[in-house]
Amino acid sequence: MEIIALINIAFTVLVWIIIVRCVLSFIRHDPYQPLIKFIYDVSEPVMAPFRKLVPPTAGIDFSPIFAVIALSILQKIIINVLISIL
């Protein structure tokens, strides 16, 4: 059961990183600041595939929404598989 808790924490942290990245898009920031660079480096591999599928429309990037939905679905699948195995 500990592995399930770790997986839940990892997915939750990743979703929050994506949310913080969305908030950062509304404020001026230094992209080279280490914490902000970390946020971009971690979230970009998750969001990039969705950005290719659904390009920004009227200047609005919908990839974070699709990334969070996909992460939630993936989290549930992984947890259910682990529960059935354990």
Name every residue whose Cβ is closer than 8 Å to that of residue 18 and which is 6 or more positions away in sequence.
43, 46, 47, 64, 67, 68, 71
pTM, two decimals, is 0.90
Mean pLDDT by 10 residues, the chain (86 residues): 93 98 94 96 96 89 96 97 91
Q: Which two tokens stand for residue 25?
A: 């898009």
**C-alpha dihedral over 36, 25, 43, 14, to 10 degrees?**
90
Mind spelling out the 3-state secondary structure of 28-69?
CCCCCCHHHHHHHHHHHHHHHHHHHHCCCECCECCHHHHHHH
